[in-house]
């Protein structure tokens, strides 16, 4: 007979247990790890990315797996700023050209599909921005600008820098960093809340 979460959870509870203590501890762990990563981030690199976004003709984003989901969320916010932005792999995404910006995200910097996209973009003459946890990776070597996060990659299996599974910390901190980037850009570009909402889809 297979035990359920409920069976295991309640069998380990004692009279001294704090309700939902495990969840509270996990949330605190995740917050603490992300705070550490973001506090160690070199914000000058983020400033360069912000400038590249505002100067690009068009913006393309790409990442694999969960990193790809993070980049989709970032693309949505970049769209709210009024920029022309595309997610690589969608059927409506046009050819990248010189003067465009490709923003890629890979914790390891070794993801094959991401590296292949980067090589293509660089060959064409587009600018390449890389968000990674590995500044010595092949992907970072191709970059015009790199934002390095002091998070573990999914290939690092020791718990020295993160107790979370795989690339969770990198993906979380990337999302927080890109949301901060959006917040700064919206203020720098004098985008009011009304103008941002005006760009939001009305086909929901």
Q: Which residues does the annotation mark as catalytic?
A: 171
Rg (CA), the chain: 20
Please report the sign of the dihedral spanned by the C-alpha atoms of residue 198, residue 82, residue 182, residue 169: positive
String of DSSP letters for 114-135: HHHHHHHHHHHT-EEEEEES-T
């Amino acid at each position: 007979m297979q035990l359920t979460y409920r069976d295991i959870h309640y069998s380990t509870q004692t009279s001294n247990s704090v309700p939902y203590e495990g969840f509270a501890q996990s949330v605190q762990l995740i917050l603490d790890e992300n705070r550490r990563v973001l506090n160690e981030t070199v914000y000058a690199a983020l400033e360069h990315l912000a400038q590249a976004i505002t100067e690009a003709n068009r913006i393309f984003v790409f990442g694999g797996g969960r990193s790809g989901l993070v980049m989709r969320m970032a693309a949505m916010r970049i769209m709210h700023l009024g920029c022309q932005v595309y997610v690589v792999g969608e059927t409506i995404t046009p050819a990248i050209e010189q003067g465009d910006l490709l923003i890629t995200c890979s914790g390891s910097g070794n993801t094959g599909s991401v590296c292949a996209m980067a090589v293509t973009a660089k060959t064409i003459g587009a600018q390449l921005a890389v968000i990674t946890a590995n500044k010595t990776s092949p992907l970072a070597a191709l970059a015009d600008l790199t934002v390095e996060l002091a998070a573990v990659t999914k290939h690092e299996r020791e718990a020295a820098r993160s107790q979370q599974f795989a690339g969770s910390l990198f993906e979380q901190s990337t999302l927080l960093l890109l949301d901060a980037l959006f917040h700064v850009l919206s203020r720098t570009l004098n985008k009011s809340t009304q103008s941002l909402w005006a760009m939001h889809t009305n086909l929901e």
